[in-house]
Structure 1
Amino acid sequence: MKKVLSLALISLMAVGAQAQEAEKKASNKPVFTTIKENPITSIKDQNRSGTCWDYSTISFFEAEILKATGKTYDLCESFVANKTYMERATQVVRFHGDCQFSQGGSAEDVLATMKKHGIVPEGTMPFPGSLYGDSLNNFNEFFSLMEPYVAAIAKSSAKKISGQWKVGLQGILDAYLGKCPEEFTYEGKKYTPQTFVKSLGINLDDYVSITSYTHHPFYSAFAVEVQDNWRFPLSYNLPMDEMMKVIDNAIEKGYTVAWGGDVSEDGFTRQGLAYAIDTKKTESLQGSDMAKWLKMTAAKKKNLIDSLGCNVPEITPTQELRQERFDNWELTDDHGMLIYGVAKDQNGKEYYMVKNSWGETGEYKGIWYMTKTFIAANTMDFLVNKNAIPKDIRKKLGI
């Protein structure tokens, strides 16, 4: 009988502890009030492809067109990928393989494609994945063919290569992404990709990239040293505080921001939240120590972060910390997303509203709420309309 009573007591205590934990999570769950929300197009899904750069920047230009004209477009990511992968492969061959060929890219790839080749609307090329029997993009087989193909040409011991390798590679690109149309009809009117992009009501010379590091002079421009920045576009270098002012001013003036940065941190959750967690303060709140925190599994860290919710302690981002994390490889170029609004939680903390490209996943159906602290700490660079930059900062940059 004593054993039965003991087991019952233990069960009741466990249930009580679970209830307390659930209550704590519920009380700490952020409740958002929107401060400013700019119009965006629908959530898309890049699925099993490393094309966040493509989806986020296409989304950015769709929002730019929407702001400029009031018209909603669904532009074609496959067109951009087809053109970009051929041009990236060409560079790798020119460098004899001494640079990277991969699925990743940057916002500049979309901008450069639109300037050089134009763009087409969705529907003028096969729906992503449809050519190989999938419902969305799946680049596993696709790149298992392309990577060794490009490497074989780039690392060839031949004294001279022919141009036929481009014919073969174009065949692979067209087989998995679809052939880029030279002419098409949209809403009853004939276009080429070049005439279509000119009809969209935006000026492609209005877009600039912004970053913030100390290994180059502020108010100068340099190519951010990450592998997927393979076109070597220049980004204007601002102090961190001014970088953040650009984002805030853009949102306030009705613009969006094509953001690129680091989402590999523990504070970026799959449920639609992102905090720049101060691990030292977090573990002290739980009565643990750094050693225990470092030994925690990802699942346990997630549970701890979830339980603290909007009360999780955050770091104070600084220019020095950004530089240190960039130089020691902590601040990486992981993901591209679209910043389009600002909200605050029940404590008054402000977050950027950010559109992702993983479908309608997470607590907020494809939208992430990322604290301003997280963005300040984890931004690699971003593309923005130069007219969204405060006048005093534009004057310092000479644009």
Structure 2
Amino acid sequence: MKNISALYILLFVSFFGFSQDYQFKTIVDLDATDVISQGSTGTCWSFSASSFLESEIIRLTGKQIDLSEMYSVRQTYSDKAWNYVMRQGKAQFSQGGLAHDVINSISKNGIVPNNVFSGLKKNEEKHNHSKLADSIKTILTTYLKDEKKYDGNWKTDVENTLDYYLGDKVISFNYEGVKYTPQSFLEMTKINPKDYVTITSFTHQPYYTNFILNIPDNFSNGSFYNVPLNDLMSTVDYALKNGFTIELDCDVSEKTFSSKHGIAVVPDDKDNINALVNIMPEKKITPEYRQQEFENFNTTDDHLMHIVGLLKDQNGNTFYKVKNSWVNKNVGNEGFINMSEAYMKHKAISIMVHKDAIPEAIKAKINLTLN
């Protein structure tokens, strides 16, 4: 009888021990601007990177500035069009991109506040780039089909299309009573594009080297520093604990990534959606498993977001507070995702951070010598 009672107690504890509702304690919560929607666009890369830079401006100057996501998008569409034509159509042309595309854009073209360049036409309230992207692609494919018969100049036609859908290029503007150019405004924010680096962790390239990661949206051939998975996670934790937010490129295709519930986890049973509301044991993520999932395309670079905080659940498990750019009635947690450490290890393609957000030992190993 005693053995039967002990068995019941064990089953009770086991069941309810794994059926706890999530309760989070904030460990780090860094300054960030409000969650806004990317609308019907594939430009999460600009929304997340702009949010990241907004937090950097707060850190560097104390100023809270709503940056224009679409200013960088407009410049990047031009770069994508050039790349597509010069590769004779043997490249991807889409709305997608990566965080370093924003860094490349501000380095060349500066930066502006959102009230100077919203990217919205008169009376528009939401971004929608389906017609824009299709119109540019039509220009490029028509030109490449027979450039000698193309009527006009493809570059001019692309720029005119961008003017029509997003707005004319910005030459100068006034902000808080001061006249700026996009470049002088960038200088005022104290953002130095050279200070930002992208870090990843994959086994198909040597650790502590940098390489061009072959993912579809890396049209600009951005370079990534490759470190062991533990070093990647150490950098994330070190950055947050030392006041730096983080740009994140990751896969959000799993059933257990839910904007509705504001949770992203990797339960042992990966299809167990009960893990969205109850704490479940999570899968142990190894570098080998992470690599396998990347090579079989279960992990793809389909969304970029902004890490702004560190949390613990009631069992002491680490979670990251991730700012999203999806805002609608089906989004819970006020547009933020509480992402488990296991999910980060499994699904993070890369992170972008300020060079000072990297632990010195890791910085030395990757021979980071940025000025």
TM-score (norm 2): 0.90
Aligned counterpart, 2:339: 370
Aligned counterpart, 2:91: 99
Q: Given the alignment, which residue of 153, 156, 162 partners 1:164?
A: 153
Cα contact 1:274–1:368 (8 A) shared by 2: yes
Is 1:58 the counterpart of 2:53 in the alignment?
A: no
Runs of 5+ unmatched residues, structure 2: 1-15
Cα contact 1:266–1:277 (8 A) shared by 2: no
Is 1:42 the counterpart of 2:42 in the alignment?
A: no
When residues 163 and 386 of structure 1 are mapped into structure 2, their CA distance, relative to the original with a 3 A threshold, is farther
Deviation at 1:136, TM superposition (A): 0.9
Aligned counterpart, 1:9: none
When residues 203 and 163 of structure 1 are mapped into structure 2, their CA distance, relative to the original with a 3 A threshold, is farther
Report the 3-state secondary structure (helix = DSSP H, G, I; strand = E; otherwise coil) of the residue aligned with 1:208.
strand
User: How far apart, CA to CA, are the structure 1 residues paired with 2:227 and 2:365?
Assistant: 10
Q: Given the alignment, which residue of 359, 362, 367 partners 1:393?
A: 362
Q: Given the alignment, which residue of 70, 82, 85 partners 1:90?
A: 82
Cα contact 1:128–1:136 (8 A) shared by 2: no
Report the 3-state secondary structure (helix = DSSP H, G, I; strand = E; otherwise coil) of the residue aligned with 2:333.
coil
Aligned counterpart, 2:121: 130
Structure showing greater radius of gyration is 1
Aligned counterpart, 2:263: 273
Aligned counterpart, 2:171: 182
Report the 3-state secondary structure (helix = DSSP H, G, I; strand = E; otherwise coil) of the residue aligned with 1:130.
coil
Cα contact 2:71–2:119 (8 A) shared by 1: no
User: How far apart, CA to CA, are the structure 2 residues paired with 1:305 and 1:163?
Assistant: 57
Aligned counterpart, 1:316: 284
Deviation at 1:218, TM superposition (A): 0.3
RMSD of equivalent CA atoms:
1.9
Cα contact 2:259–2:335 (8 A) shared by 1: no
Is 1:200 the counterpart of 2:189 in the alignment?
A: yes
When residues 163 and 226 of structure 1 are mapped into structure 2, their CA distance, relative to the original with a 3 A threshold, is farther
More helix by share: 1
Aligned counterpart, 2:13: none
When residues 158 and 149 of structure 1 are mapped into structure 2, their CA distance, relative to the original with a 3 A threshold, is closer
Q: Given the alignment, which residue of 309, 318, 324 partners 1:350?
A: 318
Deviation at 1:147, TM superposition (A): 2.2
Deviation at 1:164, TM superposition (A): 1.2
Structure 1 residues 357-366 or 203-212, which shifts more?
357-366
TM-score (norm 1): 0.84
Report the 3-state secondary structure (helix = DSSP H, G, I; strand = E; otherwise coil) of the residue aligned with 1:167.
helix
Cα contact 1:78–1:178 (8 A) shared by 2: no
Cα contact 2:197–2:352 (8 A) shared by 1: yes
Percent sequence identity over aligned pairs: 37
User: How far apart, CA to CA, are the structure 2 residues paired with 1:140 and 1:160?
Assistant: 27
User: How far apart, CA to CA, are the structure 2 residues paired with 1:196 and 1:166?
Assistant: 27
User: How far apart, CA to CA, are the structure 1 residues paired with 2:236 and 2:107?
Assistant: 24
User: How far apart, CA to CA, are the structure 2 residues paired with 1:32 and 1:251?
Assistant: 17
- CA offsets per residue over residues 330-371 of structure 1, 9 Å max, x none? 110010000111111122211000101112763211111000
Cα contact 1:119–1:197 (8 A) shared by 2: yes
User: How far apart, CA to CA, are the structure 2 residues paired with 1:388 and 1:161?
Assistant: 49
User: How far apart, CA to CA, are the structure 1 residues paired with 2:141 and 2:98?
Assistant: 21
Q: Given the alignment, which residue of 230, 237, 251 partners 1:248?
A: 237
User: How far apart, CA to CA, are the structure 2 residues paired with 1:138 and 1:69?
Assistant: 33
- Could you list the runs of 4 or more consecutive aligned residues of structure 1 that deviate by over 4 angstroms after TM superposition? 159-163
Count matched residues. Answer: 350
Runs of 5+ unmatched residues, structure 1: 1-23, 283-292, 294-300
User: How far apart, CA to CA, are the structure 2 residues paired with 1:167 and 1:193?
Assistant: 22
Aligned counterpart, 1:11: none
